Structure 1
Amino acid sequence: MVIIELADADRPAWDTYVHQAPGGLPQHLSGWRDVLARTYGYETHYLMAREGGAVVGVLPLFLVPSILVGNAAKTMPGGLCAESPEVAAALIARASEIARRANARTFVLQDTRQAWPGDLQTTSHHVHWVVDLRAGAEDLWHRLDGNIRRQVRLARRSGLTIEIDRSGRRLGEFHNVLSHFTHQVGTPVFGRCFLEHIVAAFPEGFNIAVVYDGHQPIGAYFQLEMGRTVYGTWGAALREYLKLRPVYLAYWEMLADMAAQGYHFLDMGRSPADSNASTFKGQWGGSAHPVYQQMVSLGGSRPAGREAGALPSGVTRGYFSRIWSRLPFPVVQFLGPRLRRHMPFA
């Protein structure tokens, strides 16, 4: 087995492997290398394992140099894909070497759906809900709890409408809703150019759903599409409109659209276990699966007391969020993307 860095000539083989691998996710695709480089200027190392000429594993690694939160070496969300624990171990070893040379204190497999064996610190504080769409929208509707159906009907009676776009025309509306929502909850948001680069890299691999009250966008959701599965990635609804139930309408209409388009599953994305978000997602007839963070300690420099490249936690994070939510919106629009460069998927 040999491990090489991805060359442009190998991109079709890389992406074919990701599409066929049981653990393959949209975030494993090679196009993200371009997104990260164009948006943030990151150094990337896309590692490919080959055996007998065949691809047997991939690991998309990027490096985040940061005085603010410490040098970080991370995979794309989803971690790695590998045919066996032995292949995974070889990829992790090579990635750890690269991270060590970059003076990163840790190398992190982000949001991996499989806990790989080895000398890794493993935690699991999140789950992702997966809804089976194969029986069709009508069957799914009748399987929903009566209260969920009632909330959807109330949203319709309120006059809310929804559009699902696969062209990118609604990208600006999505980013505007997400920006206001993250400001309300005190979290920096990435810049619109990040989304533009994603859409450019995957022109047939996304959809954007926008909920309207009249002509006003009040809820918006960005999904990635790969194979027969749709992956919830980012979403938000404005607090002042929650009484109109935009979130219920959005989820139902997205599920119905996905079923009509022939998709088999909706992966609703990660949520903290036992959180309100996880409880909400659990009402849509899916099953919960663990999401892991796995870390290799390397000994580089970072601020003491937390994983390199992570958002502050506990009291510090709460204090930061309160301050951030009180800043003028134009200020957070300017500062948010600059902070996100230090923690792009936090």
Structure 2
Amino acid sequence: MIINKAVETDRKKWDNYALSHPDATPYHLWAWKEAVETAYGHKAHYLIAEEQGKVRGILPLFQLKLFFLQNQLVSLPFCDVAGPIADDYLTRDRLLDKAQQAAAQYKATTVELRTRLSHQSTIFNNSKVSMLLSLPADPKELWNSFRSKLRSQILKAEKNGLMFRLGEGDEDIKSFYQVFSQNMLELGSPVHSKYFFASILKSYGGSCRMGLVFLDEKPIGCGIILFCGTHTAIPWASTIRKYNKLGPNMLLYWNLLQFSIKAGANLFDFGRSTPNSGTYRFKAQWGAQPNPLHWDKLPVDINQYASPASLKQHGVNRQLAANLWSKLPLSIANLIGPKLRQYISL
């Protein structure tokens, strides 16, 4: 078996392998690499394992380096789940060994893996879950599976005059970003650059769609879905809070679920949540079930890992920073937020 760093000419066989593997996500596709490189310039280290000319496994990695403050390899940044996928555990282990060698080469302090499978050689994980919904073959079947309260909320959004449509082009990206950036500011989080989303849409092409919800001509809800074969994920969705009573989120998700089914998807990934949180309950009402996420770190240098006390303090500091950030004017947040966001791997 030979494991090499994948190059542009490997794109087709890389994607063919991802599209054929049951554990692959839309983030495993080469398009994610292209979009992150284009928007942020981070260095990719995509590993491909081959045996007698046949791909046996892949492991996508990005280096997030900021002077002396940060240097880590992540699989993958800006999404919930990626990590190695392979034909067998032996190939997976070989890929992880290569990842540790790459960490030494780049002098990275950690190799973080975001998977749905825990691995015996990793030493840290979190308590987050993916909320996954198995999709039927017909939207009507999904509709009939909803509780009456959920159906009435969707219908109420339509009665409130909200309109959904699929977005495309620069003007719709502008509408998306208008909603998304305002929501991120209210959450106290630096926002991705508009160019990042434009790069995602361009790189994924037909494997990516943007949904928008309007009140009259004003955008008040937005979301982006990505496809990998029959697997759909929604990494970004937002609404403007003062309009939430009108139900834009209900109309947004229902239409994106319908579109996914019609496109041939049989699994919808609602994204990461903390069990019993508000977002968890929102996703559960659609029928989504929790699947444990393992954000693990390979043991590069065990002395560099934070203690539980320091992790707790980090959480406190993060909340304080979020409270301060949410007070910024939107124009200022959108100016400096992307410069920070590109180094925040979450």
What TM-score does the superposition give when structure 1 sets the normalisation length? 0.92
Q: Which is worse superposed, 228-237 or 60-69?
A: 60-69
Paired residue secondary structure (1:71): strand
1:114 aligns with 2:117: yes
Cα distance change on mapping 1:133 and 1:168 into 2, 3 Å: farther
For residues 232 and 302 of structure 1, what CA distance do their matches in structure 2 show? 33
For residues 264 and 11 of structure 2, what CA distance do their matches in structure 1 show? 27
1:57 CA drift (Å): 0.6
For residues 90 and 333 of structure 1, what CA distance do their matches in structure 2 show? 42
1:175 aligns with 2:177: yes
1:304 CA drift (Å): 6.2
Paired residue secondary structure (2:45): strand
For residues 22 and 305 of structure 2, what CA distance do their matches in structure 1 show? 37
Residue type at the aligned position of 1:338: K
Aligned equivalent of 1:324: 325
1:68 CA drift (Å): 7.6
Cα distance change on mapping 1:135 and 1:19 into 2, 3 Å: closer
For residues 305 and 328 of structure 2, what CA distance do their matches in structure 1 show? 26
Unmatched segments (≥5 aa) in structure 2: none
1:176 CA drift (Å): 1.6
Unmatched segments (≥5 aa) in structure 1: none
Aligned equivalent of 2:85: 81
For residues 67 and 34 of structure 1, what CA distance do their matches in structure 2 show? 23
1:52 CA drift (Å): 2.1
1:28 aligns with 2:31: no
After the TM superposition, which segments of 4 or more aligned residues of structure 1 sit over 6 Å from their partners?
300-304
Percent identity reads 28
For residues 142 and 151 of structure 1, what CA distance do their matches in structure 2 show? 14
Paired residue secondary structure (2:276): coil
Residue type at the aligned position of 2:28: H
Does the CA-based 8 Å contact 1:221-1:234 persist in structure 2? yes
Does the CA-based 8 Å contact 1:66-1:72 persist in structure 2? no
What TM-score does the superposition give when structure 2 sets the normalisation length? 0.92
Deviations 1:190-239 (A, max 9, x none): 10111111122111111111111111111100110121222111011111
Paired residue secondary structure (1:123): coil
1:305 CA drift (Å): 5.8
For residue 142 of structure 2, the aligned residue among 133, 140, 143 is: 140
1:168 CA drift (Å): 6.7
Deviations 1:106-140 (A, max 9, x none): 11012x12223x32114242222222222411121
For residue 97 of structure 1, the aligned residue among 101, 104, 109 is: 101
Cα distance change on mapping 1:57 and 1:303 into 2, 3 Å: closer
Deviations 1:160-184 (A, max 9, x none): 1111236675222112211000001
Cα distance change on mapping 1:302 and 1:178 into 2, 3 Å: farther
Does the CA-based 8 Å contact 1:105-1:297 persist in structure 2? no
1:12 CA drift (Å): 1.0
Q: Which is worse superposed, 212-221 or 39-48?
A: 39-48
Aligned equivalent of 1:186: 188
Does the CA-based 8 Å contact 1:36-1:42 persist in structure 2? yes
Counterpart mapping for 1:228-243 below 5 A: 228-243=230-245
Structure number with higher helix proportion: 2
For residues 130 and 300 of structure 1, what CA distance do their matches in structure 2 show? 33
Aligned equivalent of 2:343: 342
